[in-house]
Structure 1
Amino acid sequence: MTELESARVYTDFHHKLPPHPGSEWTRFVCISDTHSRVFPVPPGDVLLHAGDLSSWGSLDELRPTVEWLKSLEHPVKIMIAGNHDLCLDEQWGLQTYGINPDDIRHARAYVRSDAGLHYLEYEAFQFTAPSGRTWKVYGSPAAPIHVQGAFQYGTSEEARAIYDRIPLDTEILVTHTPPFMTQDRTRKGKNAGCQILASALQQLPECRLHVFGHIHEANGAQTDTDASGGTGRVFVNAAVASHGNAIVVDLKN
């Protein structure tokens, strides 16, 4: 467990997660990169899924994940797409990309069809936790280009246009890509996160939790005690594809 004055982070609890700390706290359960598979998920106030819902991007591969998320009992459930989720990216419905446009339309409507599951695509959202605390969240599916994939950008200008959209009062940020030099090291030793996103985070003084995935082998969490007005910021690479364990973060309201 990692503990700050206003945050507690659990990365390896072997199904013995400490009890919810009480009404002054909000418990976030963080997962990503489930790739059409189902994993055990502990209870909590808010479930955050940071993308790669499907394995290879078809609507049929998306459905098992969405139905599984719908079945979970977390009071608030938020998800974004990732580079594998081709059927959610409108660009992949163009003739040169080759996914049936009807599948794109159906997939995009499907992920917004359940009132208890909130799909964010370059969007801000506010929710009230069971404690009564209202949190401001922003979700972005984007990632730097890597072979063929969805929601990817290839230039610094594209990246800036994407991350300039994040509201300055965002408290919970969910992106598919990691920021550069933060839980982003690949098996080959490369830091594969986004430098523009890392810079954008410096302009988000209220952000207390940043959840992402994408780089499976960099799963884990770290804290920045100088961020978020001195209360500390928690960074979580929540990719579960290689080990199947969610990461839990308790934030003091």
Structure 2
Amino acid sequence: MASNAAQSPVQTPKTKNTRLLIISDTHSQKLFPSTHSHHAFREPLPKADVLLHTGDLTMIGKLHEYEKTIEMLASIDAELKLVIAGNHDISLDEQFYKTDGKRMHRYDYDDMMPYKAKHMWKDQAKQKGITYLEEGMHEFELKSGVKFKVYASPYQPEFCDWAFPYEHDEDRFNPTSECLDGAKSIVQNPVPDFPEVDVMMTHGPPYRILDQVVRGKEYVGCPHLLRAAYRAKPRLHCFGHIHEGWGARRATWKEKAPKGTPKSVYDESVLTAEDVEVDPAKASREMAVYVDLSDSGPGPLKLGEETLMVNSSIMSVSFKPVQAPWLVDLELPCPG
């Protein structure tokens, strides 16, 4: 017999507008003095609740380079500062350093370098309010009551024989049952399904999203990562790695995506992908490109339907620090 009792309405999760400052690929670059008004990457960068740095902290993973980056990050005004490594931070990839460190560091090679580098980020950086993230899920709470979950990973498809690589047919983000056709699962820390991830921080970009290189106009992002982003549908996915891919794109997901192949995953997963317009002069004045996706903004993000994708590489393809940080207002969960 059917019940006449009225069903309870679905509860909308409580959220709070949270400001995130996003940078990547700083390669030991210090902030320019405030008088250098033609550089967006200058003192003082905008205040934020959360700072996200998505890797390539250095040029080649030497300790003095890490020290410069820690000093730069410590100067930024943010309650929470989260950092991952990138392919240039070779001494933070212990396995890679064992096989290739001598080739790349030459006379500066030190078989204890991975330990020293990790200690620097786990201890010295932590003392200055900077949190270094290993691959996997992490949860954080802000003074505002916001509690949010981050999936982090420094890995990307093999690219010019640098650190944190995996082969192009290897999938380190999806459980075996969710792998694309022909992919070999090497997953250790799979990306959870929606709604478990609020923010994804990866060094490399997903396939066909802000990942096109100048030479040959080739897409070099990871299709397996795109598959994982589709499953997770985070509010924000930020990355770097491909300097010339700098920008932001608002992706709308299709309702149901078949697993498909690496070459078809974009068309099967992404309904639309709209570039965020940038005013370079304004970005230089304000030291960031501002995007308002909060509930009080002009176009609130649709949770579970959209993801803001941000390639926040500060360096251009010629390694000039001419690209602006991104400043994003976003609703994050506030259970209290």
Using structure 2 for the length normalisation, give the TM-score. Answer: 0.64
In the other structure, the counterpart of 1:31 is 23
In the other structure, the counterpart of 1:157 is 170
Which amino acid is the alignment partner of residue 30 of structure 1? I
Matched, 1:117 2:127: no
For residues 221 and 85 of structure 2, what CA distance do their matches in structure 1 show? Answer: 17
In the other structure, the counterpart of 1:173 is 200
What per-residue deviation string (whole Å, max 9, x for no partner) do you get for residues 129-179 of structure 1?
342110100110001111221101114235343486223311100000000
In the other structure, the counterpart of 2:83 is 79
In the other structure, the counterpart of 2:325 is 246
Determine helix, strand or coil for the equivalent of 2:113: helix
Is this contact kept in 1: 2:171–2:224, CA < 8 A? no
Matched, 1:57 2:61: yes
Matched, 1:197 2:201: no
What per-residue deviation string (whole Å, max 9, x for no partner) do you get for residues 52-84 of structure 1?
000122122222002221232200000000000
Listed as ranges, the gaps of 5+ residues in structure 2 are 1-14, 32-41, 103-108, 173-184, 255-301, 317-321
Q: 1:76 to 1:57 in 2, by over 3 A?
A: same
For residues 187 and 72 of structure 2, what CA distance do their matches in structure 1 show? Answer: 29
Identical-pair percentage: 36
For residues 249 and 192 of structure 2, what CA distance do their matches in structure 1 show? Answer: 23
Q: 1:237 to 1:47 in 2, by over 3 A?
A: same
Matched, 1:48 2:52: yes
Q: Which residue of 117, 133, 136 maps to 1:107?
A: 117
Cα shift at 1:230: 4.3
For residues 223 and 158 of structure 1, what CA distance do their matches in structure 2 show? Answer: 24
Q: Which residue of 209, 217, 223 maps to 2:244?
A: 217
Cα shift at 1:187: 1.0
Is this contact kept in 2: 1:91–1:97, CA < 8 A? no
Q: 1:83 to 1:95 in 2, by over 3 A?
A: closer
For residues 93 and 185 of structure 1, what CA distance do their matches in structure 2 show? Answer: 28
For residues 157 and 29 of structure 2, what CA distance do their matches in structure 1 show? Answer: 24
Determine helix, strand or coil for the equivalent of 2:150: strand
For residues 52 and 76 of structure 1, what CA distance do their matches in structure 2 show? Answer: 19
**Would you identify which runs of 4 or more consecutive aligned residues in structure 1 move more than 4 Å?**
227-231
Cα shift at 1:226: 3.7
Is this contact kept in 2: 1:53–1:81, CA < 8 A? yes
For residues 32 and 88 of structure 1, what CA distance do their matches in structure 2 show? Answer: 16
Please report the RMSD computed on the Cα atoms of aligned residues, expressed in angstroms: 2.0
For residues 91 and 309 of structure 2, what CA distance do their matches in structure 1 show? Answer: 28
In the other structure, the counterpart of 2:142 is 129
Is this contact kept in 2: 1:50–1:82, CA < 8 A? yes
Which amino acid is the alignment partner of residue 48 of structure 1? L
Q: 1:103 to 1:184 in 2, by over 3 A?
A: same
Which amino acid is the alignment partner of residue 55 of structure 1? M
Q: How does 1:178-189 map to 2 (within 5 A)?
A: 178-188=205-215, 189=217
Determine helix, strand or coil for the equivalent of 2:73: helix
Is this contact kept in 2: 1:184–1:218, CA < 8 A? yes
Determine helix, strand or coil for the equivalent of 1:111: helix
Aligned length: 230
Q: 1:181 to 1:91 in 2, by over 3 A?
A: same
Determine helix, strand or coil for the equivalent of 2:228: helix
Cα shift at 1:95: 5.5
For residues 145 and 218 of structure 2, what CA distance do their matches in structure 1 show? Answer: 42
Is this contact kept in 2: 1:45–1:130, CA < 8 A? no
Matched, 1:144 2:136: no
Is this contact kept in 1: 2:192–2:231, CA < 8 A? no
Cα shift at 1:213: 0.1
For residues 174 and 76 of structure 1, what CA distance do their matches in structure 2 show? Answer: 14
Q: 1:81 to 1:162 in 2, by over 3 A?
A: farther
